[in-house]
Structure 1
Amino acid sequence: MKLSTAAPWALSLAVLWPFQAHALFGDDEARKAIIELRQKVDANKQATDAAAAEAREGDAGTRRSLLELSNQIEQLRAELARLRGQNEQLAREVSELQRQQKDVQSGIDERLRQVEPLRVEYDGQTFTAAPAEKNDFEAAMAQLRKSEFQPASAAYAGFLQRYPASGYTPSVLYWLGNAQYASRAYKEAVVTHGRLVREFPAHVRTPEAMLAMANSQIELKDPRTAKRTLEDLVKVYPNSEAAAAARERLARLR
């Protein structure tokens, strides 16, 4: 009875043992799988955290690089603005120097024009004259044309003193004598025209000066001297217009 009673229990235990053993084995595998899974999750989390940290560090580095680059750009902009300012200042200084140089050159050219001799053709003569010399002569002529005889006489006399070797001298003597004659300074006119005749006998104005001398001598009530002057004029310059006028006056003086 005892054996029969124990047999079923033993049989039941024998049947259940594989299942229990299998159940126990499955739990270990599951736990192992869970542990491995947790380890993988933890590893992935660590890797993710590390990547995130690295990314954050990379972002911070990028931000630092961008900030440094931005600062460098601002510095370059400031330097460029400074260089532009210097360039503009230099451009202004160069422009001012060029203007000053131009003014200096203009001043030099003007001074050269004031002293550089000019080529002059007057009364059939060609000569050189300083600009001031030419201006003084033309100023005296302008006064004579306005019938300002006494100021013109003074201007011609001053010219002869300032420019004793001027190419204008024969013409100045001629016009000075005429201005003196017009001012009724007959004696002075005879002296002036007489100098032209003596010093410049070949000048184109010399025959006219002799005719003017005779007129002054007539005004001085000296017809004999006037007659002799007219005769010399006809003799020395027979083909001149002044000689033709002299012949007519000689006829009247006889």
Structure 2
Amino acid sequence: MSMGLRSGLTTLALAAAALGSSLPAHALFEDDEARKAILDLRARLTQTEDARRKDAEQAQEQLAPLRRSLLDLNAQIEALRGEVARLRGQNEQLARDLSETQRRLSDQSQSLETRLRPLEPQKVVVDGKEFQAAPDEKVQYEAAMAAVRRGEFAEAATALSAFQKRYPASGYADSARFWLGNALYGKRDYKEAIATFKAFVAGSPAHPRAAEAQLAQANCQIELKEVKGARRTLEDLLKAYPGTEAAQAAKERLATLK
């Protein structure tokens, strides 16, 4: 190294030393305190960060069971929703089934009522008398009367006799006896006709056909040449039922009897 270079370095070193010795002593102390303050602040920040991190970790640990509980609760809610939907579907199906059952019962009830209606007693009015008659009873009586109207007196007499035996307490009983007498008269069974007409008048003297029955009885007696008996029957008719058409016919008949 040359003498000139060494001399320059020496000069710089002396200048630095002189400069250092010229700074006040309290400036050096202030720098140390500032560094300590910064270090303390950093330490506190680190502690604060650690505390926050621990708090966050603890919070996460505490929230974890809550999250699991919420997940379980959500799962239960979804399960309940599914169950409610299933039950609602069942209820709707049950409602449809009930409605269908009620409709079928209504149809069956109407069908049964339709089938039973012909079997129920029906209101009937015959010779001014109103009563209830069973369907079979009504059918049998009307069939016998149809035979009377056709002039098939033997068939009518058989049918009316069978009707009286089968329905002795029928509301048709009086009318059946009257028309039985007429059927017997039509088939010229006069004695049986007379007995039938007598029984009819004796049993139902207030019947609207009683006078007509006595007139028919007298006609049967006339056919049997029982003139005295016929005259007595006609006279009884005039006493019991004056003013009737049968009574007028009885007067005319009496005038011809000898």
Same fold at TM > 0.5 = yes
Deviates more, 1:89-98 or 1:77-86: 89-98
Partner in structure 1 of residue 163 of structure 2 = 159
Partner in structure 2 of residue 49 of structure 1 = 53
Partner in structure 1 of residue 252 of structure 2 = 248
Give the drift of 1:234: 2.7
Partner in structure 2 of residue 144 of structure 1 = 145
Q: Cα RMSD between the aligned structures?
A: 4.5
Quote the Cα distance in structure 2 between the aligned partners of 1:71 and 1:193. Answer: 97
Q: Is the 8 A contact 1:237 1:243 kept in 2?
A: yes
Give the drift of 1:192: 1.8
Give the drift of 1:15: 7.9
2:53 alignment partner, SS class: helix
Where structure 1 has 5 or more consecutive residues not aligned to the other structure, the ranges are 1-11
Once the two structures are superposed, residues 79-127 of structure 1 have per-residue CA deviations (whole angstroms, 9 ceiling, x without a partner) of 4345546655776569958986995xx98xx79x948xx997754557x
Q: Is residue 64 of structure 1 aligned with residue 68 of structure 2?
A: yes
Deviates more, 1:179-188 or 1:12-21: 12-21
The verdict on how the C-alpha distance between 1:168 and 1:230 changes in structure 2, with shifts beyond 3 A counting, is same
Normalised by the length of structure 1, the TM-score is 0.65
Once the two structures are superposed, residues 119-168 of structure 1 have per-residue CA deviations (whole angstroms, 9 ceiling, x without a partner) of 97754557xx5542x86246513651572555554443233223434454
Deviates more, 1:221-230 or 1:70-79: 221-230
Quote the Cα distance in structure 2 between the aligned partners of 1:20 and 1:142. Answer: 155
Q: Is residue 38 of structure 1 aligned with residue 39 of structure 2?
A: no
Q: Is the 8 A contact 1:181 1:189 kept in 2?
A: yes
Total equivalences in the alignment: 235
1:243 alignment partner, SS class: helix
Quote the Cα distance in structure 1 between the aligned partners of 2:127 and 2:182. Answer: 16
Q: Provide the identity percentage.
A: 46
1:203 alignment partner, SS class: coil
Quote the Cα distance in structure 2 between the aligned partners of 1:189 and 1:202. Answer: 20
Partner in structure 2 of residue 237 of structure 1 = 241
Normalised by the length of structure 2, the TM-score is 0.64
The verdict on how the C-alpha distance between 1:43 and 1:155 changes in structure 2, with shifts beyond 3 A counting, is farther
Partner in structure 2 of residue 222 of structure 1 = 225
Once the two structures are superposed, residues 15-71 of structure 1 have per-residue CA deviations (whole angstroms, 9 ceiling, x without a partner) of 845737446424432331232232233134224423543554465445323312212
Partner in structure 2 of residue 202 of structure 1 = 206
Where structure 2 has 5 or more consecutive residues not aligned to the other structure, the ranges are 1-15
Quote the Cα distance in structure 1 between the aligned partners of 2:93 and 2:19. Answer: 109
Q: Is the 8 A contact 2:144 2:160 kept in 1?
A: no
Quote the Cα distance in structure 2 between the aligned partners of 1:215 and 1:114. Answer: 41
Quote the Cα distance in structure 1 between the aligned partners of 2:27 and 2:193. Answer: 164
Quote the Cα distance in structure 1 between the aligned partners of 2:74 and 2:237. Answer: 105
The verdict on how the C-alpha distance between 1:97 and 1:222 changes in structure 2, with shifts beyond 3 A counting, is same
